[in-house]
Structure 1
Amino acid sequence: MPFEKKTIYEKWDIERIGFYWLIAELDRKENLAFGYANLNDEQMAEWGYSISEIIDVGASKDRNWKPTSFENAQKIIRDYKRGFNQR
């Protein structure tokens, strides 16, 4: 399946510094996740990682996140950042 079509079930972030993680697959038993990591650098963003790393750096889960495609998740984040920067 192309990455753009993957369902993103959870979003974790450190909003004050612009880091976010989009979780596409999660194994709570093994505490592993697969998803997209963007550490405030579009050019260096990548797919991969484990959930423990996210928690270790102090990220918090977005409790309002609703499952959506990766493509739509990127649009939601761009729109949010655009609105945030206009304040």
Structure 2
Amino acid sequence: MHIKLSGNLARFISYQRALDIDVGCRNTVVGAIHKMVEQYPALSEVILDGQGNMKRNFHVSLNGEKIRVDEFYKEIINDDQLDIFTAIAGG
């Protein structure tokens, strides 16, 4: 699976903006996120809360379409792309 991260997260993955991880034949969005955090533990405190859930200040897209938290258990395959970006608020 190809995972792209916003620039401010790159420092937690050796200054890469994207990475590829093997999610196996049957996995979910949340499973891919946890696999990524296993490989890059510094990301854990930044993107996950105390229960291991994605913090609210991040947006996640699967194959270019934004997904909600209740869709994090969708099945994914290695050919999918996941984007994780910091939510921007304005006023």
> What range describes the TM-score normalised by the shorter chain of this pair?
under 0.3
| TM-score of the aligned structures, taking structure 1 as reference length | 0.28
Choose between structure 1 and 2: higher strand proportion.
Answer: 1
